[in-house]
Structure 1
Amino acid sequence: MDTNSKARRTNIILRSAMYIFLTLVALLVIVPFIWVVGNAFRPNAEIGQFTDLSLYTFIPKEFTLLNFDRMFQQLNMVQIIINTLIVAFSVTAGSLVINSLTGYAFARINFVGKGFIFMIFISMLMLPIEILIISLYLTLVDLKLSDTYISLILPFLASPFGIFFMRQFFSNIPKELDEAAILDGCGHFKIFSRIYMPLAKTPLLTLGLLVFLQQWDSFIVPVTFINDEGKMLLQVALTRLSMGLYTTDYGVLYAGVSLSIVPILIIYLIFQKHIVENIATTGLK
């Protein structure tokens, strides 16, 4: 009984510590979110006025929609969000196809130099976009693709991480499935499309969300490649909102940040079941 009681007591302590830790992590995420949204509905004179942990620190004392009105007067935010969605969805869709095909080739097809080529792909993970941005921009200028949506989409349809991610998943699928499909007369494309893709729904969704979020938050690429204000993307627009003539219009800036969160929140609410399922089954074959 003593042993069982100690085990139960230890289990309760560990679970309590885990819940306390998760609560603190959740607060670290939720509290800044509420603060930003609250500031989006404050007049500028009230922003920064409440610095203690009171109710008015997070909820406006004087509620206003003028920040959003000024935001839409300064920039065509609807068009900017549409531009960002076009680029983000295009890159996401294209990268899922290319990365999954390439990952399948590295996982299941034997060809000369496969290991060496794969190591080159993996080594590119260590190169940040800041190192490649100048050469990439000069290449796009030579191809006369600068200042176009294609310049924001084409270079990012394949990624070292995406290829590695899909290759690791496909490598864990039993080879007996391939052998059975080959006996039925299937080639690699049929094996990929009819067997592997249905099994890869969860990793494809995970990779798609990661790519979409990366494109949604992209700044250095669109600010470098795009000069046409009609093709401006969201993160570039937020920097424009933050630059006033003499002072920073924080109300408009918080309004823009709050608006930028909405599409991401909608996507999470739609796919939250799959996200939780993917996390819960991580590491299981």
Structure 2
Amino acid sequence: MKTITLYLGKKYRLFWVVVLLLSFVLLFAIIEELLIMVYLYFFLLFPLIFYAFSKGIGKVCLKDDKIVIYNLFAFPKAEIELNSLKGFEFMRDYYYSVPKGRGKYLGISGPTVMIFHTKSGECKAFSLFGFHDIKIILTYLQDNNIPFLNYKPVDSKDTKIKVTTYQKSGMQAVFAIILPALTLILIMAFITYRFIISPDNQVIHLLLCLLPLLLYLIYTYWERMYYIKMKDESFKIKNLLKRKSKKFKYDDIKKIAFGSSLGKGAFLYIEILDKNYKYYQFPLDMLPKREIKEIVTIFKEKGIDATSECC
């Protein structure tokens, strides 16, 4: 078998490059007048960026007999021998146990978490967030007869489903749209007012530097406004502010998992894996958390292995 190398998506690599460049630009812009920001950068921001680069995954190499995972600095992070694998889990959070402790603790959460279980009882978990070729990894594991441990086939039932839209109330949707826009308007008004009064004010210069970041955060927040519309033979993942939607037929889906990126019920998302091992992930900020159990039940009645770790 020829070695297959998968790289982190371009936009995620570009994001880290932009973060570094903006940090240096901001650093040199204020180095002469705000020395405390220099210390803040070197003692807080730089270690955080270094930690992200060292812990994050930059590429995955699929070889004949093993999987080699590299960090963002292109140094080998882990080597997993195929003949040592008992199986793998995908689309679930990773919990670890502390020796001589009680209970389990959350290790890695969020979408695209993959956990490798070795025959010796060891677990190795990684987040593949940012990789667009997860299908290749899953197909590679299946071709090498590595069991998909947390996939449990479900028998479908002849259940009719009426058209139902699972979405937050209109007032919640209005606030989700208006509040970020209003915040941006107030900040712009403050910057304009202060700039007219004292154009040399350092705080204004700092806010101007951070304004693109604020715009990006608001845009990504609006991008998360997805909800679910279910019909008898299919369902759609729709965005509140955009016309784009993705339609799925129940018969084409292998596994579905609901989760939250930060705590129970915060930053909800859905992971979808079809029978061809194509992977999809959508944020669900417009989906009421209380409706997830009902949605999971419907998916199971349609013969889909559906789970939820957020409720």
Bin for the TM-score computed over the shorter chain: under 0.3
Structure with the greater alpha carbon radius of gyration: 1
Higher helix share: 1
Task: Compare relative contact order (CA 8 Å, sep 6+) and give the higher one, 1 or 2.
Answer: 1
Q: TM-score, normalised by structure 2?
A: 0.24
Higher strand share: 2
Q: TM-score, normalised by structure 1?
A: 0.26
